[in-house]
Structure 1
Amino acid sequence: MTTNHENYQYPLDETWSTAEIITVSKFYQLIETANESSVAKDDLMAAYREFKTIVPAKSVEKQLSREFEAASGYSIYLTMKAAQTTTKARVRYRG
């Protein structure tokens, strides 16, 4: 299952509930925002924690990340690495 965003679709799992799809989509949107402008670090970190409650398996996270990057051009891994290492209140990743 996928959700359209601009000219591509978010990778989603068809077994997820509507609330889970909304949570994961929100996380993807924040990754996009961090790459296109900037996002509050606390918001991004909180969204990632919520994402991990839905996608706890590292292998599934990596697969979704690869699909998201292929579709959007944005790396979840590199964006989150930047968020985790910055001391600033806002995250802006230029990959």
Structure 2
Amino acid sequence: MDYQYPIDHTWSTEETVQAIQFFQAVEEAYEKGIKRDEFMSAYRQFKVIVPGKAEEKKLCGEFEQASGYSPYQVTKKAKELPDEAVLRIK
């Protein structure tokens, strides 16, 4: 990993950690797969920190540009899968 996670410097340490956990869950979906429930939990925590669509789109776009991993595609697929499924993006 040769990139930085997009973070807002006004976030608390706990909020920053939760946002990073979401981006790591996106990475995991691409690299080895992640349980859908685990990903959705990370996404829900991220949405508490970033409730607005515009800010979410901005941060996820920055992450995708830096990493090549699309949080949008992972989230979209996660919403289509049953609870027990393993989420994997190829």
Q: Give the TM-score, by structure 1 length.
A: 0.90
User: Once the two structures are superposed, what CA deviation does each residue of 1:15-47 show, in whole Å capped at 9, x if it has no partner?
Assistant: 000000000000100100001110010010011
Question: 1:89 offset after TM fit, Å?
Answer: 1.7
Q: 2:41 corresponds to which residue?
A: 46
Displaced runs of 4 or more, over 2 A: none
Unaligned runs of 5+ in 2: none
Q: Match for 1:62: what amino acid?
A: K
* Aligned partner of residue 12 in structure 1, secondary structure: coil
Q: Which has the larger strand fraction? A: 1
Q: How many residues align?
A: 89
Q: 2:9 corresponds to which residue?
A: 14
Q: RMSD of the alignment, in Å?
A: 0.8
Question: 1:91 offset after TM fit, Å?
Answer: 0.2
Following the alignment from structure 2 to structure 1, what is the Cα–Cα distance between the partners of residues 4 and 26? 14
Following the alignment from structure 1 to structure 2, what is the Cα–Cα distance between the partners of residues 23 and 63? 17
Aligned residue among 60, 66, 71 for 1:65: 60
Q: Give the TM-score, by structure 2 length.
A: 0.95
Unaligned runs of 5+ in 1: 1-5
